[in-house]
Amino acid sequence: MIPFEYRRPASAAEAVDLVSARPGAAFLAGGTNLVDHMKLGVRGPDLLVDVRGLPLDGVEETADGGLRIGATVRNSDLAAHPLVRRRYPVLSRALLAGASGQLRNLATTAGNLLQRTRCPYFQDVSTPCNKREPGSGCSAVDGYVRYHAILGSSPLCVAVHPSDMAVALTMLDATVVVRDVEGERRIPLTGFHRLPGDHPEADTVLTHGQLITAVELPPRPEAARQDYRKVRDRASYAFALVSVAAEVVLAENDSVIESARIALGGVAHKPWRARQAETRLRGAPATEEQFRAASRAELADARPLRGNEFKVTLAERTLVATLRSLTGQAVR
């Protein structure tokens, strides 16, 4: 048993002060990821600051018709919330595709965004891992890579981000609200998570002591159609080999794509916003040929490892199938 202190702050400001003052401190919410890592020896905080008692568990409509989601809202509550199911069904579907019912009852919004990779080498402290111990090497590069990255990786790390929820929120252009000792700031989710580059140990742009207090969603067009599709090795309680969160708005009797938003999961160190595919689809006819061209364009820069080459084709086909379903198009 590794000893640690435990505190329950009375406010977000106090929580930030407590963690900022201790290099070895960490925030605790649902604990579904952090506690596992403490048991495995991946992390060893000397102070846990429990934020579950803070008033950060609300879901509120914003003045512009968007949604503000508190940091400690449980995944199961968020998936079932009427406003989420009606206006952001892609988010509800992504949440329900992740983990088990028991974990969703405990896991929180902020904790989900801050999940660390499920790379087996990261979780095995007996193996070298640049993410866990910078400079030690990447065991995955020449190891078991079925679940690893095909986009945006570096020679130092080929791990992928595990969250389903984060993929949907990235597609929706969510904003992360963060509090630190200087006050409150907002970070677009598309810039919140990092690619590994030369510093794979950093998953996000957050610095020590910064606390997520909420996630904000912009309003969606009335005509928007959304879906989340997840491909995995078994039907439940498995991380994505590939996932797709997509939204399309159709025009001209549903024959032309007015706008498209797409994010991919299971393919990179961060939820991957598919800008190339979005550009190809905008203003294009809603046809199988266009869907295939857009998916090929997005995956053109894929660099699979020996052992996960199949993920390139799988990602292309999953994106095409999602777009076909959203637009109601048969194969042409």
DSSP per-residue string spanning 87-126: H-HHHHHHHHHSS-HHHHTT-BHHHHHTPPP--HHHH-TT
Per-residue confidence at 25, pLDDT binned at 50, 70, 90? very high
Residue 182, Cβ neighbours under 10 Å: how many? 8
- Strand partners for 154: 157
The model's pLDDT over 248-301, given as tens digits with 9 standing for 90+, comes to 999 988 899 999 999 999 999 999 999 999 999 999 999 999 999 999 999 999
User: What are the residue ranges of helices labelled H in 193-309?
Assistant: 275-281, 288-298
- Cα–Cα distance, 218 to 120 (Å, whole number): 36
Strands lying side by side in the sheet with 256-265: 225-231, 242-251, 256-265, 272-273
* Contact between 159 and 196 (Cβ < 8 Å): yes
Percent of the chain with pLDDT over 70: 98
Per-residue confidence at 329, pLDDT binned at 50, 70, 90? low
Task: Please indicate, yes or no, whether the overall pTM of this predicted structure exceeds 0.75.
Answer: yes
The model's pLDDT over 171-204, given as tens digits with 9 standing for 90+, comes to 999 999 999 999 999 999 999 999 999 999 999 9
What does 171-224 look like in DSSP terms, one character per residue?
HTT-EEEEEETTEEEEEEGGGTB---TT-TT--BS--TT-EEEEEEE----TT-
pLDDT at 236: 81
Residue 221 pLDDT > 80, yes or no?
yes
Per-residue confidence at 237, pLDDT binned at 50, 70, 90? confident
- Cα–Cα distance, 212 to 184 (Å, whole number): 10
Residue 331 pLDDT > 80, yes or no?
no
pLDDT at 332: 39
- Give the CA angle between residues 271, 230, 325 to the nearest 5°: 105
pLDDT at 292: 98
331: left (phi over 0), alpha (psi -120 to 50) or beta: beta
Angle (deg, nearest 10), helices 310-327 and 288-298? 140
Which tokens is 248 given? Answer: 């399309």
Residue 330 pLDDT > 60, yes or no?
no
Which tokens is 55 given? Answer: 């008033």
| Mean pLDDT computed over 120-149 | 97
Which tokens is 332 given? Answer: 């042409």
